[in-house]
Amino acid sequence: MVYPPFLILERMKFSQFNSIVFYNNKFFIYNAFSNNFLLIEPLLKDLLDAAKLDNDAAGLEEIHPLFYAKLVQDGFIVADDKDEVQKVKHLREQVDLLDDQNYVLTINPTMNCNFSCWYCYEDHIKDSKMNKEMVENVITHIKTVHQNLPHLKDFALSWFGGEPLLQYSNVVDPVLTFCKSYFDSKGVNFRSVFTTNGFLINRKMVEKFKETNVNGFQITLDGHRDMHDKVRFVNSKRGSYDEIVENIMMLCREGFDVNLRINYTKDNLKSATSILADILPLEPEYRENLEVAFRKVWQETDKTLGPQVVSFAKMFRAAGFKAISGGSPDNVRRSCYADKKNHATINFNGEVYKCTARNFASSAKEGDLNKNGQVDWNEKYHDRLDIKFKNPPCLVCPILPICNGGCSQKALENAGKDYCVFNFDENAKKTMVLNKILEMAVETA
Amino acid sequence: MSQDQTNSNQEKKGQETKLDQINKDLETNKLREDEQGKIEGGFASGAIKDVIEDGNNIWCNEHC
């Protein structure tokens, strides 16, 4: 191993972003800022503890020079004058506020839906749909965004709702057609994704999706057939599971990325094995197009389901699918679109929001789309962009660089009080760190 | 071979490219003491690799 020269004269300290977790009679030490980890023998953990107790990071160098060098190289030991929180703030600014190369636009063509899931947080509005004038305003908005961002490289269009495909002909098709042509002519990368229940997708749509740079779908199942069909049904005799699974496999075979979200409760979780059996006919070469994501229904209060979810995710991975169990936050580098300056969610009626995980009530809107294609943002938008790093417990937390108190929505809902998305449970944080190391693609270094 | 056995074998194969490699690295870098009484070995390193490509985080992880 070759190590770079170090600032030997500089006083060093242990990074505040280190976590140590027990694993198979050894320990992982993980740094949430550098994303590096070391697997260490217990004796080295004892050495670390002793050095930390004595506040003598550099003392390790005399006992184990190579270990010390590696700790410095990988960000576990840093210069004493480093303001580590400031580094995270700087990173957040780069990602959320200063990135002028990316724009994400979310459109809700309707607040209507062909299903009525018991856990949905939205108020569905039966006759809601984006009218022609609003579609024109959206297209003007897209042109305005491009004109105002001279360095724009990637424009992502995300369809949400309600069920967006209920307004395929009136809204989705004309906007996709415009975007494909417009951004091709401007040399900007354009892609589009759908959050859809997947029931209305047909061959004709798929051909159009291929022509207009649609590349991904998030489609949800609520457990296996019997359970799913009790939640999402056409009528008392007709469910939707079989059609949706068929459409998921068609999309994968056509080269689209499909994020199969399994909304689980303690009652339907075990049926994931039957879902796997249903998608196994997908040929191996297409399986990597399918990522399975387990998400607990937000009303489910059982907190003991985590290990089962991890084992189910492993089962899907073993069969060649991608799978995530939902326990691996990365809220600074991979922050939510709603945390970013260059994002808007335009509702069917021209009201503009950021977060898509709350009801689209007029009282919660953060702006309005005007006829010039610009968004007139209100104070809620500015409050959102300013809410990060306001929660004192986060500023001394070892996982600040990956958690940061959750998304901006969570921070806004807890404004003015000390909070922790892990309920101040240090063991829960360590379990998350361990799962992150065990589950995420890992590089040796 | 049953489906369970197939899955188990595939899982093992998958793991060997990730954490198993780090465990092997630790095996070959055993903790030891040199002639001057300094410690060597006892650690192996890894890094979390990004699994999401830039700009692709366009689905909320909350309950949407």
Local structure of A22: helix, strand or coil: strand
Task: Please check the confidence at residue B53 and state whether its pLDDT lies above 50.
Answer: no
> Does residue A19 contact residue A29 with C-beta atoms inside 8 Å?
yes
Task: Please check the confidence at residue B50 and state whether its pLDDT lies above 80.
Answer: no
Q: What are phi and psi of A367, to 5 degrees?
A: 175, 180
What is the band of A18 on the pLDDT scale with cuts at 50, 70, 90?
very high
Q: Where are the domains of chain B?
A: 1-64
Q: What are phi and psi of A426, to 5 degrees?
A: -65, -35
What is the band of A74 on the pLDDT scale with cuts at 50, 70, 90?
very high
Cα A129 to chain centroid, rounded:
27
Chain B residues contacting A, CB < 8 Å?
7-8, 10-11, 14, 18-19, 21-23, 25-26, 31, 38-52, 55, 57-64
CATH number of the A93-377 domain:
3.20.20.70
Find, among A389, A428, A320, the residue nearest to B14 by Cα. Answer: A320
- CA separation for the pair B64, B59 (Å, rounded): 9
Residues of A in contact with B21 (CB under 8 A): 444
Is A337 within 8 Å of B58 when comparing Cβ atoms?
yes
Task: Please check the confidence at residue A6 and state whether its pLDDT lies above 60.
Answer: no
Lowest mean pLDDT among A144-148, A172-176, B25-29: B25-29
Distance of residue A81 Cα from the nearest chain B Cα, in angstroms: 25
Name the residue facing B22 among A62, A119, A444 (closest C-beta).
Answer: A444
* Residue whose structure tokens are 């199969």: A260
Find, among A95, A54, A92, A72, the residue nearest to A394 by Cα. Answer: A92
Other Cβ atoms closer than 10 A to A320:
18
Distance of residue B53 Cα from the nearest chain A Cα, in angstroms: 10
Size of interface A-B (CB pairs under 8 A): 148
Comparing A166 with A121, which gets the higher pLDDT? A166
Per this entry, what is the length of chain B?
Answer: 64
- CA separation for the pair A216, A196 (Å, rounded): 11
Strands A343-346 and A102-107: parallel
| ipTM exceeding the 0.90 mark | no
> Does residue A214 contact residue A164 with C-beta atoms inside 8 Å?
no
Q: Where are the domains of chain A?
A: 12-82, 93-377
Distance of residue A265 Cα from the nearest chain B Cα, in angstroms: 13
Structure tokens at A6: 């170090």
Q: CA geometry: angle at A101 spanning A100 and A103, to 5°?
A: 85
Name the residue facing A326 among B21, B57, B61 (closest C-beta).
Answer: B61
Chain B residue with Cα closest to A105: B58
